[in-house]
Amino acid sequence: MKNLVILIGRVGGDPVIKTFDNGDKIASLSLATTERGYKTKDGREVPERTEWHNIQFFRGLATVVEMYVKKGALIYVDGKIKTRSWEKDGIKHYITEIIVDEMKMLGAKSGGHNEQTQEPGISQPEIRQVNDDLPF
């Protein structure tokens, strides 16, 4: 079995970038995915539901996120789910994150300054995380 998650959603705020002494970067952001509301067969209304996800990008992918991803952008990510825990003031805390292996920029929020348009049938370039130790 494989730990794999695929999400398409809107970025909730500008990415937070951390740069380490060795130059490596981590980009963090929140991603909103929304299920549309619908009516059941018996006429009951099921409301729209939005989930928020903690997303982490490393190394070169973090640099791409820093340069091009802004609040409201529509992105595709795939990666793996990871849960971390820590203790503070005697209370155990948990966070579930998506560690991204691949990202595609699908467009910006309507009315944004960097709105991307896409011709039908033309796909956006694919951006993949590279897991090697090259210095560039």
E-assigned strands of 1-136?
Answer: 5-11, 16-19, 25-35, 38-39, 45-46, 49-58, 74-88, 91-107, 127-128
What confidence score (pLDDT) does residue 109 get?
A: 54
Closest CA to 106 of 71, 74, 61, 70: 74
Residue 71 lies in a domain: yes
Coil, helix or strand at residue 58: strand
What confidence score (pLDDT) does residue 99 get?
A: 97
Residue 132 lies in a domain: no
Domains in the chain: how many in total?
Answer: 1
What length does the chain have?
A: 136
Backbone torsion region of residue 66, taken as left when φ is above 0, otherwise alpha when ψ lies between -120 and 50, otherwise beta = alpha
Closest CA to 58 of 72, 77, 73, 32: 77
Coil, helix or strand at residue 118: coil
Residue 131 lies in a domain: no
Residue 103 lies in a domain: yes
pTM over 0.75: no
What confidence score (pLDDT) does residue 1 get?
A: 85
Identify the H or E element spanning 27. Answer: strand 25-35
Tell me the residue range of the domain where 77 lies. 5-36+45-126
Q: 99 near 84, Cβ under 8 Å?
A: no
Residue 17 lies in a domain: yes
Residue 11 lies in a domain: yes
Domain with residue 15: its CATH number is 2.40.50.140
Closest CA to 8 of 84, 100, 111: 100
Residue 23 lies in a domain: yes
Backbone torsion region of residue 90, taken as left when φ is above 0, otherwise alpha when ψ lies between -120 and 50, otherwise beta = left
> pLDDT by residue for the chain (136 residues), tens digit each?
899 999 999 999 999 999 999 989 999 999 999 999 888 899 899 899 999 999 999 999 999 999 999 999 999 999 999 999 999 999 999 999 999 999 999 975 554 444 444 433 434 445 444 444 444 3
